[in-house]
Amino acid sequence: MKFTAAQIAGILEGEVIGNPDAVVFKLAKIEEGTEGSLTFLANPKYVNFIYTTQATITIVNNDFVPENELATTLIKVEDAYQSFSKLLEYYNQVKLMKSGIEQPSVISENVTYGEQLYLGSFSYVGKNVTIGNNVKIYPNCFIGDNVSIGDNCIFFAGVKIYSETEIGNNCNFHSGSVVGSDGFGFAPVNGKYVKIPQVGNVVLEDWVEIGSNCSIDRATMGSTVIKTGTKLDNLVQIAHNVEVGEHTVIAAQTGISGSTKIGGYSQFGGQVGVAGHLTIAPNTSVGGQAGITGNVTEENQKLTGTPATDVRTFLKSVANNRKLGTLMQELESLKRELESFKKP
C-alpha cells in the first residue's frame, strides 16, 4: 500500500512541509529510514537523526524547527507519537479489510452472519452459529456449533472456537488459540481417573484480545468468563470456571487454575502460577514467576515470589538471604568463642 504526504496529513489533520506528493510504502525507525519509508520524531534524544535520515516522510511535532537542511518531507502534528500510533491503527485496518467467502470452506445449516464477513479457505462454521458485522475469520479456523460472535471480531489463522462459546464485540484471537476445550476434570474411581463431562461454556465480553497459542477451558457447569477489555499474552492457560475481571492484563506462560476469581484491573507478569478456588481482589499486581497459593483479600497489592507476598517484604527476605553466609560465619565464630570459655 502506498500513501502520499498529502493523504497522510489528511488522516492526521497535519500540515505538510515539503513535497505533498512524496510517496511512502513502508515504516521505519528514524535512524534506519530509507527512501520510500515513513518515520516519526517524538523523543528529543533522536533529533540529530532527522538531519541524516533517508526516510521520505517524517512526522514531527508542531513546535519542531529545523536547524539544518532536511532531505525528508515533514508532516507537522500536535503530537507526533500519538499521530504515528493513529496511523499504524489506520494502516492495520486497511490491511485487514477483507471480505467474501473463500473456497473451500464450510458454512453449516442455520448460520446467520452480518455484513462484510470474511471467511478464509479451509475454515468451518458449525450449525446454529450467529456472526455479527465486519467479522474476519482467516483460513483454517474452526467455529463450533451454537457459537455466537459479535461485531468487528478477528480470528487469525488456525483459531479453534468450541461449541456454545459466546463472544462479544471487537475481540481478537491470534493464531493457534483454543477457546472452549474441556476443563481438566477427572474423578478417581477404583484406582482409575474417570472423566467428568464438561457441559458449561466460555463467555468473552467486549474488547477482549487473546494472544497466540492460548487455551481457555469451558466450565464444568456454568461459564468460564473473560470480562470486558481483558488482554491475554501468548501461551496463557485459563482453566474451567475461572472468572477474569474487566481490563485485566496477563503476560505469557501464566496459568490460572480452576474456579479462581480475579478482580478487575489486575496485572499478571509472565510465568505466574495461580492455585484453584481462590479469590483475588481487584487492582492486584503480580510480578513474574510468582506463585499465588492463597486468597488476596485487599485491593491494590503488589505481590511477588512463591508463595506470593508483598514486594517490599519479599525484597527484604532476598536481602536477608544474601547475608546468610556472613551470619553463619559470625555464628560459628561466636560458638568457638563460647566454647573457649568452657575450657578449664
Active site residue 240: yes
Active-site option among 174, 240, 247, 277 = 240
DSSP string over 215-281: EEEPPSSSEEEE-TT-EE-SS-EE-TT-EE-TT-EE-TT-EE-TT-EE-TT-EE-TT-EE-SS-EE-
Between the two ends of the chain, the Cα-to-Cα distance in Å is 95
Tell me the C-alpha distance between 307 and 317, whole Å.
12
Tell me the C-alpha distance between 271 and 340, whole Å.
52
Tell me the C-alpha distance between 38 and 126, whole Å.
43
CB 266 within 8 A of CB 245: yes
The counts of H helices and E strands in the chain are 4, 40
Cell of 289: 514467576
Of 287, 262, 265, residue with least CA distance to 277: 262
Cell of 246: 474487566
- Catalogue the long-range contacts made by 286-291 (C-beta closer than 8 Å, 24 or more residues apart): 287/311, 288/251
Decide: helix, strand or coil at residue 286. strand
CB 61 within 8 A of CB 46: no
Tell me the C-alpha distance between 280 and 122, whole Å.
41
Question: What sign has the CA pseudo-torsion 53, 57, 59, 62?
Answer: positive
Of 287, 160, 271, residue with least CA distance to 218: 160
- Residue 57: strand pairing partners: 38, 73
Active site residues per annotation: 240
